[in-house]
Amino acid sequence: MTAPDTDPEALRLSAVAALRRARERTGTLTTCVDEHDLTAQHSPLMSPLVWDLAHIGNQEEQWLLRAVAGQEALRPEIDSVYDAFEHPRAKRPSLPLLAPAEARGYVADVRGRVLDVLERIPLRGGPLVDAAFAFGMIAQHEQQHDETMLITHQLRQGPAALTAPPPPDTADGAPLPAEVLIPGGSFTMGTSTEPWALDNERPAHRRVVPAFFMDTTPVTAGAYAQFIEDGGYERRRWWTEAGWRHVREHSLTAPLFWRREGGQWLRRRFGVTEPVRPDEPVVHVSWYEADAYARWAGRRLPTEVEWEKAARHDPADGRSRRYPWGDADPSPVHANLGQRHLRPAPAGSYPRGASPLGVRQLIGDVWEWTASDFLPYPGFRAFPYREYSEVFFGDAYKVLRGGSFAVDQVACRGTFRNWDLPIRRQIFSGFRTARDAAPGEA
């Protein structure tokens, strides 16, 4: 496995760029609406936007100014208010939140001090500063909350507040196979060398995977519509017991934000109602829906191990790449990331981002549900705090992989693991399917 650049000065520059890119995006998400929309709770599933804004600054202060730089607390009285584990999202509007102007001033003050620290601190001598880890962690944290705020924008009622050009249709025109054979054998899963990898991605370890087939692209909205038209939501046979109960209790009949009108499917996307594009990856489906579709199609969801092998394993030399296309950081020719666009690209796009075996769009576009529960790797060690990963381990959460159009490159790589409850649909989630290789196919 080729290690990324770990030169301290290069990582210092990368940290500055990642922090500034995140803050620019945070500004976009919090200046495009008025004060009422910033302080309102648009869904009980989400925090008010202004809570996310000040929480970003509070986490940055706690980790980079206090823990790394040893400075006195700027606003210790707000630590409890912005503790995500102390207050569930539905209750956060009742907290004594900083007003928008005060929140903006606070996060700007923290950031100015952080950049001063980053300019002068040696990036060695302890686990938080080695390879600028804490700075990369905070850049990832901010981008993860930016994605959360983008979900809030999608849930928000009212006219569009965000705009972006459509993704380019970069499909090369050649017909793609429906599925790709991933040969059996061992590969290296996880990482021990990626400088900003989070604790649940570590350590690198060997896994053996039997041969299997995986969809070349994520499942499209058009394919999912066929499942609906065939009575997918009406037939108990395709659903797990918990999934069927959830569908019945909540009267689910289609992905979130879809509705049928005049013989066609429409969806609401960031304040705009538009026809569902059949060639785009389906988005806003729960794990239960993804699993039911896979059963209907005579297939299954890939395991997390299978997904990572398809995304990282290079059969030519046996090593695991950082990304499907190689070790280079993502660029716009590789994947749909970073909120450059506000929708997935058509299935089959980004041929330059394909894996060595030809699987496309494994990074970006939509988070992909896997069959796997969120569990620790062998040798896992919680760092720098248990609440990032360890408290979520178990069978309650399912793993998603690959990122979405809403994810920045700093929080998306071949080893990155996301997780959520199997009922969740407001996230930018899709999926692809897999099947075992029959004897003679491998």
In contact, 92 and 51? CB cutoff 8 Å: yes
Please check if 259 is assigned to a binding site. no
pLDDT digits (tens, 9 = 90+) for 41-94: 999 999 999 999 999 999 999 999 999 999 999 999 999 999 999 999 999 999
pLDDT digits (tens, 9 = 90+) for 5-16: 678 889 999 999
SS (H, E, C) the chain: CCCCCCCHHHHHHHHHHHHHHHHHHHHHHHHCCCHHHHHCCCCCCCCCHHHHHHHHHHHHHHHHHHHHCCCCCCCHHHCCCCCCCCCCHHHHHHCCCCCHHHHHHHHHHHHHHHHHHHHHCCCCCCCCCHHHHHHHHHHHHHHHHHHHHHHHHHHCCCCCCCCCCCCCCCCCCCCCCCEEEECCEEEEECCCCCCCCCHHHCCCEEEEECCEEEECCCCEHHHHHHHHHCCCCCCHHHCCHHHHHHHHHHCCCCCCCEEEECCEEEEEECCEEEECCCCCECCCCCHHHHHHHHHHCCCECCCHHHHHHHHHECCCCCCECCECCECCCCCCCCCCCCCCCCCCCCCCCCHHHCCCCCCCCCCCCCEEEEEEEECCCCCCCCCCCCCCCHHHCEEEEEEEECCCCCCCHHHCCCCCCEEECCCCCCCCEECCCEEECCCCCC
pLDDT, mean of residues 340-369? 97
pLDDT in the model for residue 396: 98
Q: What tokens does 193 get?
A: 């060398």
Please check if 75 is assigned to a binding site. no
In contact, 401 and 416? CB cutoff 8 Å: yes
pLDDT in the model for residue 1: 42
pLDDT digits (tens, 9 = 90+) for 79-108: 999 999 999 999 999 999 999 999 999 999
Compute the distance between CA of residue 7 and CA of residue 440 in angstroms, rounded to an integer: 47
pLDDT digits (tens, 9 = 90+) for 257-267: 999 999 999 99
pLDDT digits (tens, 9 = 90+) for 150-188: 999 999 999 999 999 999 888 776 789 999 999 999 999
Q: Which of 43, 31, 26 minimizes the C-alpha distance to 157?
A: 43
Please check if 417 is assigned to a binding site. no
Q: What is the Cα Rg of the chain in Å?
A: 22
pLDDT in the model for residue 174: 76
In contact, 182 and 212? CB cutoff 8 Å: yes
Residue 363 has pLDDT above 50, yes or no: yes
pLDDT in the model for residue 440: 86
Q: Is the peptide bond before 203 cis (omega within 30 degrees of 0)?
A: yes
pLDDT in the model for residue 169: 80
Residues whose CB is less than 8 angstroms from the CB of residue 241 and which lie 6 or more positions away in sequence, other chains included: none
Burial class (CB in 10 A: 0-12, 13-18, 19+), 289: buried
* Residue entry with tokens 């936007």: 49
pLDDT in the model for residue 175: 87
Alpha carbon 11 to its chain's center: 23
pLDDT in the model for residue 5: 65
pLDDT, mean of residues 17-34? 98
pLDDT, mean of residues 37-44? 96
Please check if 91 is assigned to a binding site. yes
Better-scored residue on pLDDT, 371 or 442: 371
pLDDT in the model for residue 417: 98
Q: What tokens does 409 get?
A: 């490159």
pLDDT, mean of residues 247-256? 98
Q: Which amino acid is at 131?
A: A
pLDDT in the model for residue 150: 98
Please check if 55 is assigned to a binding site. yes
Please check if 424 is assigned to a binding site. yes
Report percent pLDDT > 70 for the chain.
99
Q: What tokens does 171 get?
A: 């499909």
pLDDT in the model for residue 2: 46
Residue 3 has pLDDT above 60, yes or no: no
Report percent pLDDT > 90 for the chain.
95
Residue 4: pLDDT band with limits 50, 70, 90: low
